[in-house]
């Protein structure tokens, strides 16, 4: 078990619920429907990967320590980049901010890190103790 990953998953999970509630109740009043869809995608993927991070923490000792650690870190950084960039794009829309063109390319980078996390988890478990 990796307690740090479990603690991080707990806090990120709580944040997912808060953001989901905000999106469902407050955000829809101030953004266009397509921006709300973007926000909901961010919350959904963040929440999915909370479970991936928790799973990594729970099975940590069953796998290759270096690959399991990589999986957990990739999940965290991937969530920040993937969901974070979508949150920022939603904020850009809500605040009617021009620019921030650099944010768009961050989303697929974050998604790639999430995929890499799943691959590290699988390899870590297959090469584990």
Q: Which helix (H) or strand (E) holds 4?
A: helix 3-25
95 secondary structure, DSSP code: T
Whether residue 45 is predicted with pLDDT greater than 70 in this model: the reply is yes
Mean pLDDT across the chain, nearest whole number?
A: 94
Task: Estimate the crossing angle of helix 65-94 against helix 3-25, to 10 degrees.
Answer: 20
pLDDT for the residue numbered 47: 97
Residue 101 CA from chain centroid, whole number = 21
Taking the domains of the chain in order of start, what are their residue ranges?
3-126
pLDDT for the residue numbered 96: 87
What is the residue-wise DSSP string for 22-39? HHHHTGGGTS-HHHHHHH
Whether residue 1 is predicted with pLDDT greater than 90 in this model: the reply is no
Q: How many residues does this entry show for the chain?
A: 129
- State the pTM of this model: 0.94
């Amino acid at each position: 078990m990796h307690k740090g990953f479990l603690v991080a998953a707990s806090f990120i999970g709580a944040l997912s619920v808060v953001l989901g509630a905000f999106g469902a109740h407050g955000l829809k009043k101030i953004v266009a429907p397509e921006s709300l869809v973007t926000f909901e995608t961010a919350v959904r993927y963040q929440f999915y990967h909370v479970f991936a991070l928790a799973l990594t923490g729970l099975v940590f000792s069953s796998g290759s320590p270096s690959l399991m650690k990589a999986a957990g870190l990739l999940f965290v950084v991937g969530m920040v980049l993937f969901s974070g960039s979508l949150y920022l794009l939603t904020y850009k829309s809500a605040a009617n901010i021009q620019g921030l063109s650099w944010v768009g390319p961050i989303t697929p980078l974050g998604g790639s890190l999430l995929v890499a996390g799943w691959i590290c988890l699988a390899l870590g478990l297959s090469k584990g103790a």
